[in-house]
Amino acid sequence: MRMFKAELLAKKAVSPNVIEFTYSRPLNFNYLPGQYISIVVDKITNRSYSLNSPPLNSETISSLVDISPGGKGTTYLKKMAVGGLITFKGPYGHMILPDKLDTYKNLNFIATGTGICPFISIISHLEGADFTGKINLLYSEKYQNDLLGLSNLKIDNIAISLTREEVKGYNYGRVTAYLKKLPREKALFFICGNTRMLLEVIKLLKRDGVKDSKVIYESFYY
C-alpha cells in the first residue's frame, strides 16, 4: 500500500469529545466513500480513521476523531498543530456501496459514536449518484451534546437515540431497540461502531431473516 503525506489544514471541535481533522488531499490519493486511512503514529504504531469527506470534487480529506481514549493515536492527533504533516497508508476497507446500487430500495445505516463518520461520506456521495431508494439511519450517542451534525445530509428516515439521558425529541436507549424501524424490503444494512454493538445488531438481523450478504460492517474498537 502506498504511503502519503498530508498537511493538517484545520482542527475543529464538533462535540465535547470529537474533533474534525481536515487535511490537504495528496495528489493521486483516491478512495471510495466509506473507506479509511491508517495514520503512522510512530515506528511501531498505526491508527485507522475513516474519512467523512466525500471523495468526489474535494481537495481535502477529513475525519472525525473521538479523542477521549487518550492512547497513542488520539494523543498524537490532539497534539498536532495546524500546518503539521501526517503520514498515512490507504485507502482500506470494504464497507462501501455495492456495484448494483439500483437493486436496493433501502440503504439502512446503523451507527454509534464516530461510527457515523464513514456514513457521512457515503450519504454525501449518494446525493450525486442516481440512487432512487430510501436512505434510513439509526444513530446513537450517549448524550445530546455528543451528537454529530448531520443537517447537511439528505436522509429519508432518521432515528436518533441517546443512551444516557432522556431528552424530548430523541429516542432513549440503544440502537438495537429501534432496529425494527428499519425497512426490510430490498434492504442493504451498513453497521459501524464498537464490536459489542455490531455483534448484537448482526445477531438480531439474522434472527429476523436478514441474509449475511445483506449486512456490511466495520468495527472501530471492542
State how far the Cα of 214 lies from the Cα of 187, in Å rounded to an integer. 7
Position among 50, 112, 121, 140 found at the interface with ligand FAD (CB under 6 A)? 50
How far apart are CB 188 and ligand FAD at their closest, in Å?
19
How far apart are CB 40 and ligand FAD at their closest, in Å?
12
Count of residues touching ligand FAD (by CB under 6 A): 23
Q: Please tell me whether residue 49 binds ligand FAD under the rule CB under 6 A.
A: yes
Q: Shortest CA distance to 114 belongs to which of 87, 80, 147?
A: 147
Q: Please tell me whether residue 66 binds ligand FAD under the rule CB under 6 A.
A: yes
Do 126 and 104 touch, CB atoms closer than 8 A?
no
Q: Please tell me whether residue 36 binds ligand FAD under the rule CB under 6 A.
A: yes
Position among 86, 107, 117, 215 found at the interface with ligand FAD (CB under 6 A)? 117
Q: Please tell me whether residue 88 binds ligand FAD under the rule CB under 6 A.
A: no
Q: Please tell me whether residue 20 binds ligand FAD under the rule CB under 6 A.
A: no
Position among 35, 53, 62, 74 found at the interface with ligand FAD (CB under 6 A)? 74
Residues 6+ apart with CB under 8 A from 131: 101, 102, 104, 107
Q: Please tell me whether residue 64 binds ligand FAD under the rule CB under 6 A.
A: yes
- Which amino acid is present at 38? S
Position among 6, 20, 35, 65 found at the interface with ligand FAD (CB under 6 A)? 65
- Residues that bind ligand FAD in the complex, under the rule CB under 6 A: 36, 47-50, 63-66, 68-74, 113-114, 117, 218, 220-222
